Structure 1
Amino acid sequence: MNNETVKMTKFLAVLFAICSGLAIGNLYWAQPLLVQIMNGFGLPAANGGLLVTATQIGYAIGILLIVPLGDFVQRKRLISIVMILSVIALISCALSPSFIILSLSLFSMGLVTISGQIILPLAGDLSKEEERGHIVGIVSSGITTGILFSRFASGIIAGVWGWRSVYLIAAALNLIMVLIIIYVLPKIPRKNKLKSYKKLLFSVFTTFKRHDTLPNILLHSGLIFGLVFNIFWTSLTFLLSGSPFNYDTFQIGLVSLAGLTAAAFGLGIGKLQDKGLSVPALGGFIIISFITMICGFIFYDSIVAIVIIAAILSVAVQGISVLTQTRLFNLSNEERSRLNTVFVVNNFIFGAVGNALASFLWSLGGWTYVMMAASLISLIALIVWLFSRSSFNEIDAQGF
C-alpha cells in the first residue's frame, strides 16, 4: 500500500488489536516466571520483584517520552522502530547471563514496548466519528487479551522449555508482527510539525488547561481500572493460594482466564459511545463494579462465585476503560497521542497505588478489608459520575 488516505477497516482494526496485545503482553511475560528465574541465577525469590519494577519503570518512561511523538512524527516509522527495538530487547532478555543484565534488558524492553499506546490513538485518528468507539473497543480488547494471554502462556512455555524460551518465542512473534505492519500499513501523514521536543513534553502537562472534562475522565478510569481492578486481582492471588482453596500457580492462572470475557464483550462496548449512550452506560458499569465487590464480600468461599464475579467485574472495567478512552480521543483531533499519554500514566499511578493498597489491606484484615475498600472506591466513582454526567451530556450535545 502506498496511498496517502488510509481508511480504517475491520482487518486493520484486528491487526492493530493483535499488535497492541503483543506489545503490552511483553510487560507481563516475567510475572509467572520470577521464582524460576531467581532459582536459575541462584538468588532469593524475593529479588524477582525488582525485575517487575524495572520493567514498569521503563514502560512509564517510554510512555512519557516516546508516545507523545505520535502527534508529530510519521507513525508507521515510529511504530516500526519501537517494535524492532522491542525484538532486540526481548532477545537480550533471553540471552542475559546475569540478574543485572536481565534487569537492564527488561528496563529497555519496557521502554520501547509502547507500540500499542501509539497504535490506539492512531486507530482513533483513522476511524470515522460514528464508529470510533467500536474501533477503540476492538483494539482495547486486543490489549486486554495480550495481558491475560501472556501471563497464562508464559507459565506453560517455561514449564516445558525454560524461562528463556518465553522471550525467544516473544521475540519471534514480535518480529513477525513488525514485518506485517511494515508491509500492510501505508505511510500515514503526520498531523503536526514538531518544532521543539521540549515544548512537546510540556504540552502533555498542559492538556488539563485545554480540556476541562479531562480530570473527570481520568478519575473514572483511575478509580475503577486503576484501584478496584488491581485491588481485586492482586488480592485474589492471596485468597486462592490460601485456605480453603490452596491453589497452585497454574490453577490461579486458569481462574484469571475469566477476564477474557472482558475482551469478548469489549468488541461491542464501544458501540455504546457511537450510539450516544456513553454517559448512562458508564454509570451502569460503575454500578456493576460496586455490586460485584459486594458479592465478593459475601461469596468469598465459593470458587464458582469468584469466577463469575471476576468475569463480570472484568467486563465492567473493560466497559469503563473503552468508554473513557473513546471520550478522551473525542476531545481533540490533533493531540490524541498526548491525551493517551496522560491517560496511561494516570492509570499507571492509580494501578501502583491499587497494588500497594491490596497488600496493605490484606495484611490488616484479609479479604474482608479488601472487598470493603473496593466497594467504597466503587461508590466514590459512582458519586463522581453523578456530579460529572451533566458536563459530559453538554459536550455530547455539541457533538464534541
Structure 2
Amino acid sequence: MTSATRKPPGDGHRASPGSGGIGRGTVYLFAVATGLCVANLYYCQPLLDAIADGLRVSRSTTALLVTFTQLGYAAALVLVLPLGDLADRRRLIPGMAALTAAALAVTASASSAPVLLAAAVVTGAGATTAQVLVPLAAALADDDTRGKVVGTVMSGLLLGILVARTVAGYLAQLGGWRTVYATAAAVMLVLAAVLWWRLPAVPRATTLRYPALLASAVRIVREEPVLRFRALLGALGFAVFSVLWTALTFLLSGAPYHYSPGTIGLFGLLGAVGALAAGAAGRVADRGGAGRFTTLTTALLAVSWLPLVLGAHHVVALAAGIVLLDLAVQGLHVTNQSQIYRLRPDARSRITSVYMTAYFAGGAAGSALTPPAYERAGWTGVSVLGASLGAAAFLAWVAHGRSLRRHQR
C-alpha cells in the first residue's frame, strides 16, 4: 500500500478505487470479506433439524440457535461496532474474524445445547465484522467514488447472505452439520490472516474513551437529521423485506404450490438481483442522483406488492415481485449508506451502529408482524402489511422533500 492509505480519513486526501488510496483488489477483498462474515448468521437456518437429531434435543431448542445468533449480532451493533472509530481497525477487524473462527470451531465440536447457544452469541457478534469493514471502505474512498465503493462492498455482503443457506445445505449433505461449521471456522481463520496482511493502516478516528464513545452516538443521532431520516427509511425498507421472506415459506409450502424445502430455497437466488441494485445505487449517488433514486426505490417498496399479491396463485408474478422488492430494498439501503457516510468522517462506525441498529429493529418488527397477518388473512393480509409499510416509506420521503423545499424558500 502506498503512503496515501495511511492518511487519516477526513484529511482531504482519499483516492478512488484503482488509484493510490483503496485499490480495486482491496475493494473486492472487502466485498468477499463482508460476505463471508455475514454468512455466519445464516448457516444455521437449513441445519436446525440435523442439529436437533445430532444432539438429541428438541426442535424448539435448536430454533433458539437462530435467536441467540441474532441477539449476539444486535448486541454487537450497539456495543462493538462503535469501536471502529476508536480502535486500530487493522488489529480490530482480523481479531474479530479470528474470534468468530474460534466460536465456529466450538459450534462444530459442541456436544450440548448450552455450549452451542453460547457459541452462537459469539458467532452473531463476530458477524458485525462486516459492518466495521463497510465504513472503513467508505473512509478510504474519495468523495466522488464513495458510493461506488460502498455499493461494491454491499454487493458482496448481499451475495454472502444469499449463498450461505445453499452452501450450508450442500456441505451438510456431504459431511453432516458439523462439517459446515468446521469449514466456516477454517475459512474465517484464513480470512483473518489475509485481512491482517492486506488491510491498510488507518489512524484512529477519535480519542474518546469507550463510555464517552457510546454516549457520543446518542448525541450524533440528536445532531444529524439526515442520519435520523435515513435510519427510518432503512428500518421501513428492511421491515418490508422481512415481511416477504418470513411469509414466503408459508405460501410456497402450502396450496397451490406444495414445494419442497429445496425448491423453496431456490427462490432466495432471485435476491441476487438485489446485488446489482447495490452497485447501481452507489454509482447514482456519486453522480448526485440519490434523491431521485430514493423516490424510485421507496415507490417500488409499495408497488412491488402488486405482482406479489398475485403470486398467491401465479409463480411468475411472485418471482417478478420478489425481484422488484429486492431491487428496491437493496438500492435504498446503499443509497442511505452513501448519504450517511458523508456526514462525519470521524464517526462513521458510530453512524453505522445507529443506522444498522434501526435497520435491524425494522427487520425484527416486520418479522414479528407477519405471522399474525398470515394467520388472520393469509397471503393477502401479508401483502397488505408489506404494501402499507412500503407506502409509509414513500410518503415519509415525499413529506421530507416538501419540508426541505419549504425551509429553502
Alignment TM class, shorter chain as reference: over 0.9
* Superposition pairs of residues 237-256 of structure 1, within 5 angstroms: 237-256=249-268
* Superposition pairs of residues 333-372 of structure 1, within 5 angstroms: 333-372=345-384
SS at match of 2:346: coil
What is the rounded CA distance, in whole Å, between the counterparts of 1:372 and 1:114 in structure 2?
33
- Structure 2 counterpart of 1:218, which letter? A
What is the rounded CA distance, in whole Å, between the counterparts of 1:99 and 1:151 in structure 2?
21
What is the rounded CA distance, in whole Å, between the counterparts of 1:390 and 1:191 in structure 2?
35
1:170 corresponding residue in structure 2? 184
1:103 corresponding residue in structure 2? 117
What is the rounded CA distance, in whole Å, between the counterparts of 1:317 and 1:51 in structure 2?
26
1:84 aligns with 2:98: yes
Question: Does the CA contact (< 8 Å) of 1:118 and 1:337 recur in 2?
Answer: yes
Work out which of the residue numbers 328, 348, 360 in structure 2 matches 1:316: 328
Cα displacement string for residues 132-172 of structure 1 (whole angstroms, at most 9, x for unaligned residues): 11111011111111111101211111122111100111111
What is the rounded CA distance, in whole Å, between the counterparts of 2:65 and 2:33 in structure 1?
24
2:223 corresponding residue in structure 1? 210
Work out which of the residue numbers 51, 64, 89 in structure 2 matches 1:50: 64
The sequence identity of aligned pairs, in percent, is 33
Question: Does the CA contact (< 8 Å) of 1:279 and 1:393 recur in 2?
Answer: no
> Runs of 4+ in structure 1 displaced over 3 angstroms?
390-395
- Cα deviation, residue 394, structure 1: 10
2:16 corresponding residue in structure 1? none
What is the rounded CA distance, in whole Å, between the counterparts of 2:120 and 2:404 in structure 1?
40
1:59 aligns with 2:73: yes
- Cα deviation, residue 237, structure 1: 0.9
Task: Report the CA distance shift for 1:188/1:394 in structure 2 as closer, same or farther (over 3 A).
Answer: farther
Question: Does the CA contact (< 8 Å) of 2:280 and 2:331 recur in 1?
Answer: no
Aligned residues: 394
Work out which of the residue numbers 85, 88, 92 in structure 2 matches 1:74: 88
What is the rounded CA distance, in whole Å, between the counterparts of 1:9 and 1:303 in structure 2?
43
What is the rounded CA distance, in whole Å, between the counterparts of 2:312 and 2:288 in structure 1?
37
1:223 aligns with 2:226: no
1:289 aligns with 2:301: yes
1:279 corresponding residue in structure 2? 291
1:33 aligns with 2:60: no
What is the rounded CA distance, in whole Å, between the counterparts of 1:96 and 1:154 in structure 2?
17
2:12 corresponding residue in structure 1? none
What is the rounded CA distance, in whole Å, between the counterparts of 2:359 and 2:177 in structure 1?
29
What is the rounded CA distance, in whole Å, between the counterparts of 1:114 and 1:129 in structure 2?
25
Cα displacement string for residues 310-335 of structure 1 (whole angstroms, at most 9, x for unaligned residues): 12211111100000111111111111
Question: Does the CA contact (< 8 Å) of 2:281 and 2:332 recur in 1?
Answer: no
Question: Does the CA contact (< 8 Å) of 2:235 and 2:362 recur in 1?
Answer: yes
What is the rounded CA distance, in whole Å, between the counterparts of 2:406 and 2:151 in structure 1?
23
1:160 aligns with 2:174: yes
Question: Does the CA contact (< 8 Å) of 1:134 and 1:274 recur in 2?
Answer: yes
2:14 corresponding residue in structure 1? none
Question: Does the CA contact (< 8 Å) of 1:279 and 1:392 recur in 2?
Answer: no
What is the rounded CA distance, in whole Å, between the counterparts of 2:403 and 2:48 in structure 1?
46
- Cα deviation, residue 298, structure 1: 2.4
Question: Does the CA contact (< 8 Å) of 2:227 and 2:355 recur in 1?
Answer: no
Work out which of the residue numbers 127, 141, 146 in structure 2 matches 1:127: 141
SS at match of 2:42: coil
- Cα deviation, residue 391, structure 1: 6.2
- Structure 1 counterpart of 2:210, which letter? Y
TM-score normalised to structure 1 length: 0.95
SS at match of 1:335: helix
Cα displacement string for residues 320-355 of structure 1 (whole angstroms, at most 9, x for unaligned residues): 000011111111111110010011111111111111
Deviates more, 1:322-331 or 1:106-115: 106-115
Question: Does the CA contact (< 8 Å) of 2:33 and 2:191 recur in 1?
Answer: yes
TM-score normalised to structure 2 length: 0.93
What is the rounded CA distance, in whole Å, between the counterparts of 1:329 and 1:28 in structure 2?
27
Structure 2 unaligned runs (5+)? Answer: 8-19
- Cα deviation, residue 2, structure 1: 7.3
SS at match of 2:255: coil
SS at match of 2:304: helix
1:115 aligns with 2:129: yes
What is the rounded CA distance, in whole Å, between the counterparts of 1:110 and 1:310 in structure 2?
27
What is the rounded CA distance, in whole Å, between the counterparts of 1:37 and 1:360 in structure 2?
28
SS at match of 1:82: helix
- Cα deviation, residue 10, structure 1: 1.9
SS at match of 1:209: helix
Deviates more, 1:366-375 or 1:4-13: 4-13
What is the rounded CA distance, in whole Å, between the counterparts of 1:394 and 1:259 in structure 2?
38
Question: Does the CA contact (< 8 Å) of 1:34 and 1:49 recur in 2?
Answer: yes
What is the rounded CA distance, in whole Å, between the counterparts of 1:332 and 1:56 in structure 2?
28
- Cα deviation, residue 215, structure 1: 2.0
- Cα deviation, residue 378, structure 1: 1.0
